[in-house]
């Protein structure tokens, strides 16, 4: 799915007949639950672990490289990597149900790959809070106050209306001007290709630790 998402973002960025990208998920509840714990439990080598986590890096890099603005439409909760996706959008709208949590520490790893995107969006203090407060969700209002969301709405219908209104406005602007502005807004991230690969290597090694393996096994046994 991550491979498909990275490719879809690249394709959308190159499409000559569109000016803006909307990132949303299916359903009317959760936006994104992050990495699959089932898949994590099958990782047996450092190479496999690095490759798994680098898929998140590829999506984030595809989002920052996309020449078009990416609007996030978040209708529900987001955990782990899902928070990274939200942070990598250029403008994000959500409902009051869009609480967020970085739960990686609870399973013996950390949000290493997505941390640069999250910190760029909400700053070090809020990123530290989410990372360390790994068992608790923070509300959509909290996310809006930290700058993760640009606006929040009571209902999905209100969210949909605002997303479409914004997309239509952006579609009327000069594509090259938006491209140049996006480059300015993402200035200083050219080194992320290597940085996120290094972070994927850290996560890939930690998932092999005794703590992570025991935790993942315990979670699997309860399912």
Report how many domains make up the chain. 1
In a domain, 84, yes or no: yes
| % the chain with pLDDT above 70 | 100
DSSP string computed for 67-121: SSEEEEEE-S-EETHHHHHHHHSSEEEEETT--EE--GGGGT---TTTHHHHHHH
* Residue 50 CA: distances (Å) to CA of 21, 39, 54, 121, 206: 29, 13, 6, 25, 10
pLDDT for 91-108, tens place per residue? 999 999 999 999 999 999
Rounded to whole angstroms, the Cα distance separating 209 from 160 reads: 43
Q: What is the pLDDT of residues 153-185, one digit of tens each?
A: 999 999 999 999 999 999 999 999 999 999 999
Which two tokens mark 18? Answer: 């569109």
The CATH number given to whatever domain includes residue 83 is 3.90.226.10
Asked, for residue 75, whether it belongs to a domain, the answer is: yes
Which residues make Cβ contacts (< 8 Å) with residue 189, sequence separation at least 6? 64, 116, 120
Report yes or no on 138 lying in a domain. yes
Asked, for residue 183, whether it belongs to a domain, the answer is yes
Q: Let me know if residue 173 belongs to a domain.
A: yes
Q: Is residue 36 part of a domain?
A: yes
78 domain-assigned: yes
In a domain, 223, yes or no: no
DSSP state of 186: T
Please say if the pLDDT value at position 223 is more than 70: no
Domain holding 40, by residue range, is 2-218
Whole-model pTM: value is 0.95
pLDDT tens track for 147-156: 999 999 999 9
């Amino acid at each position: 799915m991550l491979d498909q998402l990275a490719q879809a973002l690249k394709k959308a960025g190159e499409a000559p007949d569109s000016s803006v990208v909307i990132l949303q998920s299916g359903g009317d509840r959760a936006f994104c639950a992050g990495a699959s714990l089932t898949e994590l439990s099958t990782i047996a080598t450092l190479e496999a672990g690095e490759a798994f986590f680098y898929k998140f890096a590829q999506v984030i890099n595809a989002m920052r490289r996309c020449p078009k603005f990416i609007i996030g439409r978040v209708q529900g909760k987001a955990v782990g990597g899902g928070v990274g996706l939200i942070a990598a959008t250029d403008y994000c709208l959500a409902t009051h149900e869009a609480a967020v949590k970085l739960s990686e520490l609870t399973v013996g790893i950390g949000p290493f790959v997505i941390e640069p995107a999250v910190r760029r969006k909400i700053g070090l203090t809020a990123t530290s809070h989410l990372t360390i407060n790994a068992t608790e969700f923070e509300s959509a209002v909290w996310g809006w106050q930290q700058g993760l969301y640009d606006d929040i709405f009571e209902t999905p219908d209100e969210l949909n209306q605002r997303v479409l209104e914004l997309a239509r406005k952006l579609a009327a602007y000069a594509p090259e001007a938006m491209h140049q502005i996006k480059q300015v807004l993402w200035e200083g991230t050219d080194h992320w290709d290597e940085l996120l690969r290094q972070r994927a290597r850290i996560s890939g090694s930690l998932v092999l630790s005794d703590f992570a393996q025991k935790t993942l096994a315990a979670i699997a046994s309860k399912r």
